[in-house]
Amino acid sequence: MHSFSGFAASYLVNALWEGAPIYLAAWLASRMLRRMGPQAEHAMWVSALFAAVVTPALPCVRQLLALFPGWCATASRGALILVANQGSAARHAGFFPLSQTWLWWLLATYLATMVLFVGWLLFSLRGAVRVLRQARPATLAPEQEELWRRCRVAFSLHRARILASAHVPGPVALSLDGPVLLLPSDFAARCAREDILAALVHECAHLRRCDFQKNLFYEAVSLAIAFHPLTWAIKSRIAQTREMICDAMATEGEVDARSYAQSLLRLAAMVATSGRVSAIHAIGILDAGNLEKRIMRIRMKKEHAGAIARCGLIGAASAILLCAAVGAAAMAVQVAPRAGSQDSAQASAYGHVYHVGQGVSAPIPLNTVQAEFPKSALKDKKVSGGIVLLRMIVDAEGMPRDVRVVRSYRPDFDAEAVKAAKNYRFRPAMLKEKPVAVSITVEVNFKRY
């Protein structure tokens, strides 16, 4: 349970700060890709969402990067770094202590937030199912039926249905039981031919791209970091670029760009005056809230970048996002749970085992043994070194006891690290001028010379 709570706390702490560099990198990369069209920007923001979710769970990247010479100065200057369970030594090694009380409060808040967002997602999905069940086949005029047929053929949506509902403010796309275009009950009667065509083409583009399923998947993936404001900012960018993609698909063949932009304005006015608020999980033509930007993008003259320029822009933008994610993972914080106070120090064969701090001094290494580079790894030139993290008890005599691996590199490296650590000798920790047993963490660095 301690390992799980430590991992969850580490993920939460890292997610709080790692989202910022990832968002900034994605914003810069999307600016670079703007001339390539909304598809490239959309792909970059989707990649940023996955990076923001995955990167906090990869503190081991820091250990992997230590294999490269010169990356980590603290790892290359010596074979031993003491990391106490609390105090300045822990902070120096990248381990931040957290009392058990604060740890459980932090995790309880985090889990409660996740439950809240899961409940909201399930509630909106339940609303979508209920609205879909109550919907009825839309009544269309013969000319409107012909427009719907043309749109289905143009986007290869032969199984798509068009339904009417009194619970939606505007046209929305659903794909719970096959592709469905859901219209307000009075939509066909209130709209002109151009506006109906614009709505049908746009929502068919959503159905063709399977945006409903994709958006549902993004929502589920982002639940782990749904509490973060930048997560909502990233999802907002995804929604905006998704609408721009559908606008581009709509104006490429079926609708004139100028007429389409005017229809968007009229549809927005109609939805705003309907007084209905949608509480269902669906994809709509006006969901992203960036109507002005979309109209400017529609009217903007399209720029076509050459193949070399496209490859260069995609490579540079991808490198920016990748560097931000890897750099954030390399500086990840790892939270190590500990007992709430020295009074709760565990009892063992060596008496009470304390933690450094609160009057307990750190043991001083008197004799350290360089861990031998495993012979099994000498033949593999790709292995230049690694780091093994050990936890041990230094008893009142300064002898290492109960040496065990808490962060493994490879079994052969782990065995050599434990073997060397058992030969360490310390000046024991002191509490009120009396030697006591303490629990410490030791970092053993292997480096090929």
360 secondary structure, DSSP code: B
**Is residue 66 within 8 Å of residue 385, measured between CB atoms?**
yes
- Are 307 and 378 contained in the same domain? no
What CATH number has the domain bearing residue 440?
A: 3.30.2420.10
Q: Is residue 298 a contact partner of residue 261, using CB atoms and an 8 Å limit?
A: yes
Considering the domain architecture, whether residues 365 and 319 belong to the same structural domain is answered as: no
- Residue 1 pLDDT: 45
Q: How many angstroms separate the CA atoms of 186 and 188, rounded?
A: 6
Query: 378 and 413: one domain?
Result: yes
**Alpha carbons within 13 A on the beta-carbon side of 373:** 13
Q: Is residue 102 part of a domain?
A: no
Task: Kindly state whether residues 422 and 390 are assigned to the same domain.
Answer: yes
| pLDDT value, residue 373 | 87
Of 361, 344, 442, 441, the C-alpha closest to 396 is: 361
Task: Assess contact for 212 and 206: CB atoms under 8 A.
Answer: yes
Question: Are both 178 and 293 inside the same structural domain?
Answer: yes
Place of tokens 């002005």: 292
In a domain, 363, yes or no: yes
On whether residue 20 sits in a domain, the answer given is no
- Which residues does residue 3 pair with via DSSP β-bridges, in sequence order? none
* Residue 17: how many other CB atoms lie within 10 Å: 14
Longest dimension (CA), the chain: 95
Claim to verify: residue 362 and residue 214 sit in the same structural domain: no
Give one DSSP letter per residue of 244-272, joined into a string: HHHHHHHHTTTS-HHHHHHHHHHHHHHHH
Whether 323 and 370 map to the same domain: the answer is no
Considering the entire predicted model, what is its pTM?
0.70
Asked, for residue 25, whether it belongs to a domain, the answer is no
Cα-based torsion angle of the residue sequence 6, 8, 10, 13 in order, rounded to the nearest 10 degrees: -140
pLDDT at residue 163, as a whole number:
92
Cα 71 to chain centroid distance, Å, stands at 25
Strand order from edge to edge, sheet including 283-284: 136-137, 161-165, 180-184, 172-174, 283-284
Please count the structural domains in the chain.
2
The reply to whether 213 falls in a domain is: yes
Nearest 10 degrees: Cα torsion 346, 347, 348, 350: 100
User: Judging by DSSP bridges, how do beta strands 180-184 and 161-165 pair with one another?
Assistant: parallel
In a domain, residue 150? The reply is yes
Helix (H, G, I), strand (E, B) or coil at 80: strand
AA identity, residue 280: I
**Domain shared by 308 and 182, yes or no:** yes
pLDDT (tens, 9 = 90+) of the chain, 449 residues, equals: 456 777 788 888 889 999 999 999 999 999 999 888 899 999 999 999 999 999 998 865 554 454 454 444 333 333 443 444 444 444 444 556 666 677 788 888 999 999 999 999 999 999 888 988 999 998 888 999 999 999 999 999 989 999 998 888 888 899 888 899 999 888 888 888 888 999 999 999 999 999 999 999 999 999 999 999 999 999 999 999 999 999 888 888 768 888 888 888 888 888 777 666 566 767 776 766 677 788 888 877 666 667 788 888 899 999 999 999 989 888 887 775 554 444 444 445 667 888 888 888 999 999 888 888 888 777 777 777 788 999 999 999 999 998 999 988 888 889 999 999 999 999 999 998 899 999 999 998 887 76
Q: What is the pLDDT of residue 9?
A: 81
Q: CA 29, CA 25: separation in Å to the nearest integer?
A: 6
pLDDT score of 341: 44
Q: Which of 233, 240, 11 is nearest to 114 (CA)?
A: 11
- The residue segments making up the domain with residue 433 are 339-447
CA distance 318 to 47: 9
- Alpha carbon dihedral 112, 114, 116, 119, in 10-degree steps, equals -130
Q: Do 377 and 290 share a structural domain?
A: no
d(CA 198, CA 78): 68
Report yes or no on 4 lying in a domain.
no
Q: Are 143 and 38 contained in the same domain? A: yes
Task: Using the 3D structure, point to which of 327, 353, 388 is the last residue of a domain.
Answer: 327
Residue 104 belongs to some domain of the structure: no
Last residue of a domain, one of 284, 306, 327: 327
Element (H, E) at 242: helix 229-251
CA distance linking residue 270 with residue 263, whole number of Å: 10
The DSSP bridge pattern shows strands 351-354 and 434-447 to be parallel
Same domain? 214 vs 348: no
Assess whether 381 and 321 both reside in one domain: no
In whole angstroms, give the CA distance from residue 407 to residue 89: 18
State which of 307, 327, 347 marks the end of a domain: 327
